[in-house]
């Protein structure tokens, strides 16, 4: 007997088209946003920068990408993701191209602010994609879109090859061309649905009142780790490998991608897990895995001598490059799941205001990605210990674990299958 399966509806086809092209666009935007993580290494030598200045250089694009997230989320609610996403990408193209002609440190900082607009794409794409899918599949949809974070890994594959073959100036030129092509593809294959817009009488000030919600602030704290930490370490890891283990920039970038790639691609699985087991359960275990990994990563290379019956003996404690990379790989997976689970919280708690809330939470995550590299550099200049970056992240995770325990765990069984679990 022949069984006929229904063909996809036009709306379903449009939803998947929107998801695919938005994920591609976000991947390119994230690749551009992370550009300084690679080209910053030759620039550091060329401009004679210290660790703090290097941290500021890499973090500057992250600042703009963070600050624009709230207005972009609100504009997406009001005007639709198609037009906002297209205009956002188009505006960055000239700035990316001009990067190749910068010669002074302040040139890179100023141009970096405009290039950083690409980082705001997340607050556009998240509500845009989510509203094309039913609630029970929004975690999956946002997880797939969020996999565009893997643009950080794509940058680590592409940029080092361009730097070695043609010099660092070729990177922004190639990226500008790629961004322009992405703008065209996105406009051709994306769609608009007027029913997804927030009513026009909704005021900007009314939507910003969400900043007073303590639950939103808690989600901001979570996201400052799983996304802010991801961005910061993606920017920091190539030079960390070069400095700590003396690796070539291409090898360093390849190993750094072991953190960036799963931290982006596996976000879709995190969305599926959040749909199935609930955002609370996934986030709770993400924080504990992060705590363990960061504890081990925090320990600096240490030599110590003890007196034995046979005389003094010297021992060495420290992570070799293989153990370090394995821990970073696990941390990347955990944060991929965490990025998806935080936004599952948002889609569950604020279904009618996803754009604004995702913009606020995204702002917090982005600000974490801006502040942390600067603090990493400052700590390195003050202490001379490279692993001090992980010590800082370890302390931040402690804050989230305590906050989560006090507001959620005491009231919920974290092992219980309950997709609708809500936090206090």
- State the total domains in the chain: 2
Largest CA distance in the chain: 85
Answer yes or no: is 49 within a domain. Answer: yes
Answer yes or no: is 421 within a domain. Answer: no
If asked whether residues 226 and 336 sit together in one domain, one would say yes
Answer yes or no: is 1 within a domain. Answer: no
If asked whether residues 321 and 372 sit together in one domain, one would say yes
For 125-176, write each residue's pLDDT tens digit: 888 898 888 877 877 787 788 788 788 888 888 999 999 889 899 999 999 9
Region at 248 (left for phi over 0; alpha for psi -120 to 50; beta for the rest): beta
* Mean pLDDT over each residue of the chain, to the nearest integer: 84
CATH of the domain at 347: 1.20.1250.20
Buried b (16+ CB within 10 A) or exposed e, 309-337: eeeeeeeeeebeeeebbebbbbbbbbbbb
The predicted structure's pLDDT at residue 89: 95
For 67-116, write each residue's pLDDT tens digit: 887 788 778 888 888 999 999 999 999 999 999 998 899 999 999 999 99
- Domain-terminating residue out of 130, 161, 192: 192
Look up tokens 């090859």; give the residue. 161
Is the model's pLDDT at 266 over the cut of 60?
A: yes
Answer yes or no: is 147 within a domain. Answer: yes
The predicted structure's pLDDT at residue 206: 62
If asked whether residues 174 and 31 sit together in one domain, one would say yes
The predicted structure's pLDDT at residue 192: 82
Answer yes or no: is 221 within a domain. Answer: yes
The predicted structure's pLDDT at residue 205: 66
If asked whether residues 151 and 231 sit together in one domain, one would say no
Record the pTM: 0.78
User: Cβ(88)–Cβ(121) under 8 Å?
Assistant: yes
If asked whether residues 239 and 372 sit together in one domain, one would say yes
If asked whether residues 219 and 362 sit together in one domain, one would say yes
The model's confidence at residue 414, banded by pLDDT at 50, 70 and 90, is: very low
User: How many angstroms from the chain centroid is the CA of residue 260?
Assistant: 9
If asked whether residues 369 and 297 sit together in one domain, one would say yes
| 3-class DSSP state of 276 | helix
The model's confidence at residue 202, banded by pLDDT at 50, 70 and 90, is: low
Answer yes or no: is 75 within a domain. Answer: yes
If asked whether residues 188 and 213 sit together in one domain, one would say no
- Domain-terminating residue out of 136, 165, 192: 192
Flag the least confident range among 6-15, 257-266, 288-297, 318-327. Answer: 6-15
> How far apart are alpha carbons 221 and 15 in whole angstroms?
31
If asked whether residues 169 and 266 sit together in one domain, one would say no
- Domain-terminating residue out of 160, 192, 224: 192
For 54-81, write each residue's pLDDT tens digit: 889 988 998 888 888 778 877 888 888 8
The model's confidence at residue 19, banded by pLDDT at 50, 70 and 90, is: very high
If asked whether residues 141 and 236 sit together in one domain, one would say no
If asked whether residues 103 and 170 sit together in one domain, one would say yes
If asked whether residues 215 and 181 sit together in one domain, one would say no
> How far apart are alpha carbons 365 and 146 in whole angstroms?
13
User: How many angstroms from the chain centroid is the CA of residue 99?
Assistant: 22
Work out the angle between the directed axes of helices 249-265 and 321-349 (0-180°, nearest 10).
30
Domain encompassing residue 354: 207-411
> How far apart are alpha carbons 217 and 63 in whole angstroms?
19
Answer yes or no: is 8 within a domain. Answer: no
The predicted structure's pLDDT at residue 4: 38
> How far apart are alpha carbons 224 and 118 in whole angstroms?
19
The model's confidence at residue 415, banded by pLDDT at 50, 70 and 90, is: very low
The predicted structure's pLDDT at residue 249: 87
The predicted structure's pLDDT at residue 1: 39
The predicted structure's pLDDT at residue 421: 43
Answer yes or no: is 97 within a domain. Answer: yes
The predicted structure's pLDDT at residue 310: 82
Give Cα separations from 260 to 93, 235, 364 (angstroms): 24, 10, 20
């Amino acid at each position: 007997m022949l069984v006929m399966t229904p063909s996809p509806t036009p709306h379903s086809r449009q939803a998947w088209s929107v998801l695919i092209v938005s994920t591609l666009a976000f991947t390119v935007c994230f690749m551009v946003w992370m550009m300084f993580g690679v080209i910053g290494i030759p620039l550091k030598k060329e401009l004679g920068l210290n660790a703090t200045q290097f941290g500021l250089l890499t973090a500057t694009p992250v600042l703009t990408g963070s600050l624009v997230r709230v207005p972009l989320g609100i504009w997406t609610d009001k005007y639709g993701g198609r037009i906002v996403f297209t205009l956002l990408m188009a505006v960055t193209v000239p700035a990316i191209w001009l990067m190749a002609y910068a010669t002074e440190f302040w040139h890179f900082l100023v141009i970096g602010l405009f290039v950083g607009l690409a980082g705001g794409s997340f607050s556009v794409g998240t509500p845009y994609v989510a509203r094309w899918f039913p609630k029970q599949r929004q975690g999956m949809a946002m997880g797939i879109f969020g996999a565009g974070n893997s643009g950080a890994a794509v940058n680590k594959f592409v940029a080092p090859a361009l730097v070695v073959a043609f010099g660092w100036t070729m990177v922004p030129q190639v990226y500008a061309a790629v961004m322009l092509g992405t703008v065209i593809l996105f406009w051709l294959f994306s769609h608009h649905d007027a029913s997804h817009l927030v009513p026009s009488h909704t005021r900007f000030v009314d939507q910003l009142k969400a900043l007073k919600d303590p639950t939103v602030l808690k989600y901001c704290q979570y996201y400052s780790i799983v996304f802010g930490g991801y961005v910061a370490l993606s920017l920091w890891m190539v030079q960390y490998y070069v400095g700590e283990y003396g690796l070539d920039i291409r090898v360093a970038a390849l190993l750094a991608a072991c953190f960036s790639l799963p931290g982006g691609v596996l976000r879709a699985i995190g969305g599926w897990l959040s749909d199935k087991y609930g955002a609370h359960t996934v986030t709770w275990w993400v924080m504990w895995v992060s705590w363990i990994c960061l504890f081990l990563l925090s320990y600096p290379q240490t030599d110590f001598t003890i007196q034995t019956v046979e005389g003094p003996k010297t021992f060495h404690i420290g992570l070799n490059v293989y153990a370090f990379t394995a821990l970073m790989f696990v941390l990347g997976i955990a944060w991929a799941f965490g990025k998806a689970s935080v936004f599952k919280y948002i889609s569950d708690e604020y279904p009618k205001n996803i754009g604004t809330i995702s913009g606020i939470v995204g702002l917090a995550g982005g600000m974490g990605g801006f502040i942390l590299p600067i603090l990493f550099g400052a700590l390195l200049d003050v202490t001379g210990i490279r692993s001090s970056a992980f010590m800082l992240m370890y302390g931040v995770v402690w804050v989230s674990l305590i906050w989560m325990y006090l507001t959620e765990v005491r009231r919920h069984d974290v092992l219980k299958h309950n997709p609708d679990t809500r936090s206090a």
